Every structure is written in C-alpha cells, then in structure tokens.
Amino acid sequence: MTHEPRPVHGHHHHDHDHGGSIRSALREVFAPHSHDASDSIDDALEASAVGIRAVKISLAALGVTALAQVVIVALSGSVALLADTVHNFSDALTAIPLWVAFVLGRRAATRRYTYGFGRAEDLAGLFVVAMIALSAVVAGYQSIRRLIDPVPLDHVGWVAAAGLVGFLGNELVALYRIRVGRRIGSAALVADGLHARTDGFTSLAVVLGAAGVALGYPLADPIIGILITIAILVVLRSAVRDVFGRLLDGVDPDLVDAAEAALAAEPGVRAVRSVKMRWIGHRLHADAELDIDPAVSLVEAHRIAHEAEHTLTHAVPKLATALIHAYPA
C-alpha cells in the first residue's frame, strides 16, 4: 500500500459562544482581533441563515437611523445634515452585496464549482473594504478642505442631535454584525460591521465638531474630522487583514497547531506529515497527510484514517470537511 486516500466527509460538531467583557469590547473597537478559532454554529446552512438574518436586521436598523436623521433634517432645514443623511442611506445599502453572497453560499456545489459558492463572501468583503477606504478618502478630503476654507456651521444643536443618532445607530449595528460574523466565521460580515463603525465615527465627528463650534472653536470641526479619518484608516487595516487573509487562504496558526496535536495523538498515527486548511466562505476545509505503520492491512489503514478524520472535525471549530491521506511510515 503506497497511498490510502480518504473521501471527504462532513461532520457536524457542537460549539459554544464565548461572550466578552465590556472592557474587551472597548479594547477591540479600533482593531478587533480576528477570532478564527472561536466557536460557531453547527451547520453551514444554518450559519448562512444566521448571516442573512443579521444583514436584514442591521439593514432595517440603519434604515430607522437614517429616517430619524431625515426627521431632524426636516425640522432644521440644514443642507449639511441632508448630505450626511443621504450618505448614511447609501452606506446602508452596501449590505445588499453581502446578503446576495450569503444566499449564493447556500447553493449546492456543481461540477463547475466543485467547492460550492462560499467564495462569494470574500468578493462581498472586497466591496466592503473598498467602501471603508472610500469613506476614509471622503472624510479626509472634506476635513482638509474645511481646514483650508472654513465653512460656518449652522443649526449646531440639530447637527449634534443628528450626529448622535447616526453614531448610536451605526455603532449598535457594528457591534451586532461583528459579533454574528465572528460567531459564524464570516470575515465579510465582520468587515461590514467595521464599515458601519466607520460611519459611526463620521457621525461622532459631527457631534464633537458641533460641540467645539458651540464652545467658540470653529476649527474643531475639521480637526476632529482629520482625527476620525485616522481612526477609519485603523479600522480599514483590520478589515483588509481579515478579508485579504481569507482570499490568500490564511488561517489562524493556532488552528493548524490544534489539528496537528489532535492527529498526532490519534492511535495508529506515527507522524503528521502535513496539515493544510482554507476557508471557503465561513467554513473551514482541511487536508492532512499521516504516516502509519506499513504492516497494517488496507482495512486497518482505512479505519485509522476515518478515525483521524472524525477526531479532526471535532477538534477544530468551524471545520466542515477533512480529507485524510494515510501513507506507510
């Protein structure tokens, strides 16, 4: 026996969601840590359904936020507030590509797309990253332009109220998207949460700028805008790291360590030659090569590979399938 390949088997496994403290949540506002090794939901289809529900709920929440700002615009008559409200409406619609990606990801694999359509999430993630970058460019440009050519800020109280509504609405959506995205293993949904956070930062700049103007510092508005631009760039860095990491088949090294340790401890396995993993959408797929006793029978080698596969799918969270190759040591 020179090579004993194993067919792919999907195993469902039970995970547990770990809640974080308020302090850890605040620590991760600007550069949230990627929890690729965190726990998740069992079934891939169920995870996609949860992702779709998160997109729907957050889209509705952002719609309510924008409508609240429309009311304030109508009461104040501020053109600046109208522009910010239109911006929030357009940014809320960026969740639609992610919604489409989750729907596509639920489709069964075909003979052309043998791994399914999970990569649609990564494409949606690229779109979200582009929108975050655009937000940074727009915020930076507007801030520098107002610093060079200051513009009087009218309706300061209404501006602050609209900014507060925008910040709270976007930040709540950001927390929800990021939490669900980590729970189901979707880097694209996490990135979309970070996108909502950048919109919240923009609204926060409106509040702080209005406060500065009210206190007699007219340049506070553009200066705070520049600081917010820097904060958006920090968020952009986190989103780029996660989304491009998925596109390049990057995984958390701790996952590989856990897989190697689980396989090495499996009875009948002499050594672990290699372990490879990749994300396809929000599910992990693994390929491992093992050394076993060359004296064992083909049936025994099959049993060892099958047990190793079973162990691996339970040892690594979000692992959907594992392909095990057994070689004589």
In a shared domain, residues 201 and 69: yes
Per-residue pLDDT tens digits for 108-148:
888 898 888 888 888 888 888 888 888 888 878 877 887 78
In a shared domain, residues 143 and 285: no
Q: Which of 218, 278, 214, 224 lies closest to 246, judged by CA? A: 278
Range of the domain at 311: 4-9+252-328
In a shared domain, residues 301 and 234: no
Asked whether the beta carbons of 285 and 304 are under 8 A apart, the reply is no
Residue ending a domain, choose from 221, 247, 273 = 247
- Looking at residue 286, the DSSP 8-state letter turns out to be E
Give the chain's domain count: 2
Q: Which of 236, 279, 251 lies closest to 128, judged by CA? A: 236
* H-only helix segments in the chain: 22-27, 44-76, 79-92, 95-105, 120-148, 156-184, 187-214, 220-247, 253-264, 298-315
In a shared domain, residues 199 and 218: yes
pTM of the predicted protein model: 0.69
Q: Residue 298 maps to which CATH number?
A: 3.30.70.1350
SS3 273: strand
Asked whether the beta carbons of 84 and 174 are under 8 A apart, the reply is no
Residue ending a domain, choose from 247, 266, 296 = 247
Q: Residue 53 maps to which CATH number?
A: 1.20.1510.10
Per-residue pLDDT tens digits for 14-51:
344 444 444 544 444 444 444 343 343 445 566 778 88
In a shared domain, residues 210 and 95: yes
- pLDDT recorded at residue 167: 87
122 assigned to some structural domain: yes
Residue ending a domain, choose from 247, 272, 303 = 247
Per-residue pLDDT tens digits for 233-267:
888 888 898 889 888 888 889 889 989 988 988 88
In a shared domain, residues 234 and 317: no
197 assigned to some structural domain: yes
